[in-house]
Structure 1
């Protein structure tokens, strides 16, 4: 995992905990916010493992029922299919849980924390301007009507493009990856479209000047 990719995800998990006014941000407060996000991820690992264990137990119960409590083949097949689905879901959860310890370990690295704090600071410092840019790129929609996670993914991407020197395509790609992990089913397509319109706005503005 790349340091900046981890930092973006950590920043996304932290933004909602920041004070409304950026002038109240202090270095120690930012460190505490990032630490709280890491602790949240640690709890997520534990919860994911518990959920997977419960699903495996349910799968086992279904397999047992298919052998002892069914009176026809169709019912037995249905129970077996359900057991297989539960097992697959549990395996997927375990795979996700196995990735998180690496994420947590990397999140504690100095480089990751430094960029996370830089992102949080810049997002808050320029939020009004960033929000105006996003609003102008949205067609028949308003930023405040989006899910909070989608708002923050867009803010991180536009902040990186505008104030942190991140190449536009890199910022878009990273935002899409965040949306695939944290947004709704089609959220990443919407975010991709908005950010591409933001880039078109930048091009139009630069051609005028």
Structure 2
């Protein structure tokens, strides 16, 4: 696997710790480096732990419901098809959790780079400050690009990926192609099987909306 660039590491740290860090810009800006790293890492651990637990709980629920449907069915095709669908959803949830747990293998690298590389720390901080400082505008941009969906109904990890990408494109002068590609890679690591396609589609519509008619 090719080594990742500091900004890629920073995006991942920002993504995993975004919902855990203080919203107050001044408080975040004045944090000493050692405290910032501690908060980034702790936030990342908490987020990933919550995501994995929620996903496994969802998978367990789907497995139980599919099992119950099989046990109570009279071998009718409709019952079997419903149970099969539930089982497929449980497998999909389990796969997401496996992917998220696999990402935890990279935690030592994230911690080391956050401690040693100032560029990683600074870019992660800039991302978090930008998202928090422009959250209303960012969510509005995302909302306008969603089709028959609402920002508040998005999975937290998908919402955070979109917020980071839109922040980079609209407020940090990052080329859209780079922001979108990086968001898709994050979605492949942390979202569902179709998550990266959904993220890509939404961000493509964001770029189309920015273009003059």
Fold conserved between structures, TM > 0.5 = yes
Aligned to 1:130: 138
For 1:100 and 1:168, the matched residues in 2 are separated by: 28
> Could you tell me how far 1:33 is from its partner in structure 2?
5.3
Structure with higher Rg: it is 1
Question: What is the Cα-based RMSD across aligned positions, in Å?
Answer: 2.7
- Which runs of no fewer than 5 residues in structure 2 stay unpaired? 49-98
Relative to the length of structure 1, the TM-score reads: 0.66
* Contact 1:14–1:34, Cα closer than 8 Å, also in 2: no
5+ residue gaps in structure 1?
45-91
Q: Which of 2, 6, 26 is the matching residue for 1:3? A: 6
Are the aligned partners of 1:137 and 1:194 in contact in 2 as well (CA < 8 Å)? yes
Equivalent position SS for 1:16: coil
Aligned length: 157
Deviations 1:146-200 (A, max 9, x none): 1111111000000000111111010000000111111122111111100000000
CA separation of 1:26/1:141 partners in 2, compared to 1, >3 Å: closer, same or farther?
same
**Which range is displaced more, 25-34 or 165-174?**
25-34
Partners of 1:169 and 1:40 in 2: how far apart? 28
* Mapping for residues 1-40 of structure 1, pairs under 5 Å: 1-20=4-23, 22=24, 25-29=27-31, 32=35, 34-39=37-42
- The 2-side partners of 1:138 and 1:93 are apart by 25
Distance in 1 (CA, whole Å) between partners of 2:201 and 2:155 is 16
Q: Closer, same or farther in 2 for the Cα pair 1:127/1:95, shift >3 Å?
A: closer
